[in-house]
Amino acid sequence: MRMRKIWLAFALASSVTFAANNNDWPNVKADCDAVAHPKPDPPPPNLVNRIIPCATGFFRARPVHPTVKSIVPGGGFGLGPTFSQPFNRGKWQREFVATGVGSMRQSWLTEARLGAMHPAFGQNTSAEDSFSYHVYAHAINMPRMVYYGIGPNVGQQNLVNFRERTEVAGGDVFNPFSSWFAAGGTIESLWADVGGVADPGLRSIETVFRESTAPGLTSQPNLIHYEFYAEPRRTRHKFQFDYKVGYNFYQDHNTGHYSFRRFKVDGKHTFHPFNQNNVLTIHNRLTISGTGTGNAVPFFLQETLGGSDIDGQPTLRGFRDYRFRAPDLALIQVEYDHRIWGPVGLIGFYDTGQVATKASDFSFADMRHSFGFGLSIWAGGRPMVKLYVGLGSGEGHHTYVGIPAF
């Protein structure tokens, strides 16, 4: 109910802005007319080059355009409208965006976000990106999520399903102090509603697990999430890296039982071994969570390995989505992308990682492994859309089609 009121307020604000700003759709219509009816003079570009402006305009036009996106791994692709409208002033670039999508699997996502950017503050800064802040609210409904239990050795026979709806409202800020260092922070409030599924064809979570084996199953109090992070980076060299090192605190201000800390490192190294058509990426993640005596990390906020995580970021791509879950995580990924013709490229990758209930349990000898290959579609000088198959899990193969966060 809280999120519906927030969403309604944003929607009313957007309707006022809608009436006062420009409409991109006449230009989209002209670009799409040129696909079927190109002008003979001057000679028109080839068909592919005529289609691209039509397609990009169709999915980017203001004030309203259709959106197709993955809601969560396993939730299907959602379709719905997106409203976007800039209102810039001076050096400030501001934009309001509202999106609502739903999938055939009854998953849905609504989001409203007000963002602003300004050239980086500070005298003689070498940063090329901008200072930014966002105020946002979103709600996501996931009626059929999977859970195998907690720990690195849970079996497939433990598979159950649960439903989750999460509502979030908050804000974030980011400032690039230089080309090699940036920092930022987030504060947001989370409301979760988690429980079993009613479908008689599925095994519901409460038939197998209890609060002791799925913390947060019996109650989900409101949590306040605070995050502070630093970004050391190197972006102006053949060998580039970008790290995000963050400290997170989740505060259960009701009972205190689900309060926990989380230290997280997420880094990416990028190399171009021969030329710009070849990209070698090394990605590493480390998450260490901590709780006070008698506290627990809710299972739906724990880290996962397998397929892609809840944010759509690939992990152990040879395993099913969310296959392993625990408070702590270690992951290393190596991927090689090679553009072979036009926008088409080949992918090869190797992943290794482990989840743990405490950091002292990490062991290189116990890490899981997967590998795979596939195709990519390049845009803007890098692979964007990826189609691949993950192997090596010993549990079959895992396929993926989409735009990964990695």
C-alpha 201/C-alpha 220 separation (Å) is 26
The arithmetic mean of pLDDT across residues 389-400, rounded, is 95
pLDDT score at 322:
97
List Cα–Cα distances, 312 to 115, 308, 315, 406, in angstroms.
22, 5, 9, 9
For the cut 70, the answer to whether the pLDDT of residue 264 exceeds it is yes
Q: Which residue is listed with tokens 């939730």?
A: 75
pLDDT score at 41:
64
**SS3 assignment, position 231:** strand
Bridge partners for 67 per DSSP: 80
More confident residue, 378 or 114: 114
The arithmetic mean of pLDDT across residues 68-76, rounded, is 90
Residue 204 · residue 162 · CB < 8 Å: yes
The arithmetic mean of pLDDT across residues 251-273, rounded, is 95
For the cut 60, the answer to whether the pLDDT of residue 20 exceeds it is no
Residue 39 Cα to chain centre, angstroms: 42
C-alpha 216/C-alpha 301 separation (Å) is 9
The arithmetic mean of pLDDT across residues 55-73, rounded, is 85
For the cut 60, the answer to whether the pLDDT of residue 152 exceeds it is yes
The arithmetic mean of pLDDT across residues 267-289, rounded, is 94
List Cα–Cα distances, 163 to 64, 88, 194, 283, in angstroms.
31, 41, 6, 31
pLDDT score at 5:
46
Q: Which residues of 226-236 are buried (b: 16+ CB within 10 A; e: fewer)?
A: ebebebebeee
Among 2-16, 17-31, 102-116, whose mean pLDDT is lowest?
Answer: 2-16
Q: What is the pLDDT of residues 305-355, one digit of tens each?
A: 999 999 999 999 999 999 999 999 999 999 999 999 888 999 999 999 999
Q: Which residue is listed with tokens 């006070």?
A: 292
For the cut 60, the answer to whether the pLDDT of residue 75 exceeds it is yes
Q: Which residue is listed with tokens 């307020």?
A: 9
pLDDT score at 25:
78
The residues, ordered by sequence, that sit 6+ positions from 254 with a Cβ below 8 Å of its Cβ are 221, 222
Residue 114 · residue 138 · CB < 8 Å: no
Provide, for the chain, the percentages of residues in helix, strand and coil under a 3-state DSSP scheme, each rounded to the nearest 5: 15, 50, 35
For the cut 50, the answer to whether the pLDDT of residue 237 exceeds it is yes
pTM: 0.88
Q: pLDDT-based confidence at 225, cuts 50/70/90? A: very high
For the cut 50, the answer to whether the pLDDT of residue 7 exceeds it is no
pLDDT score at 215:
97
pLDDT score at 321:
97
